[in-house]
Amino acid sequence: MSNEMVKRVAIAICEASAGVLGTNPTLDWRSYERQARAAIEAMRQPTEEMIFRGGLVKDAPWDGKKPARILSAMVDAALQDKAWQKEDAP
């Protein structure tokens, strides 16, 4: 049994893998559930850049959506990590 976020990440991994197990990634996502859980667990330890970006949002006024904005800022930082970009540079 998986939760909504694990399912979303598993579907994204499946789609990024071009639905290797079949033609419809939404049907194959359960095959990627273990990888999805591992990916989410790895994000428990944020990078310095993630912490910095989350801190920029934390000072914004509370409006009920602040936790989502903090998380989004931190994930955006993870996806834009300069060290990661250097690894993939030609």
pLDDT of residue 24: 65
Beta-carbon neighbour count of residue 44 at 10 Å?
Answer: 6
Q: Is the pLDDT of residue 7 over 60?
A: yes
The predicted structure's pLDDT at residue 31: 87
pLDDT attached to residue 62: 78
Q: Which helix (H) or strand (E) holds 79?
A: helix 66-79
**Residue pLDDT, tens place only, 16-75:** 886 555 556 566 788 889 999 999 999 999 999 999 999 888 777 778 788 888 999 999
Please name the amino acid found at residue 81.
Answer: D
pLDDT at residue 86 greater than cutoff 90: no
For the entire predicted model, the pTM comes to 0.70
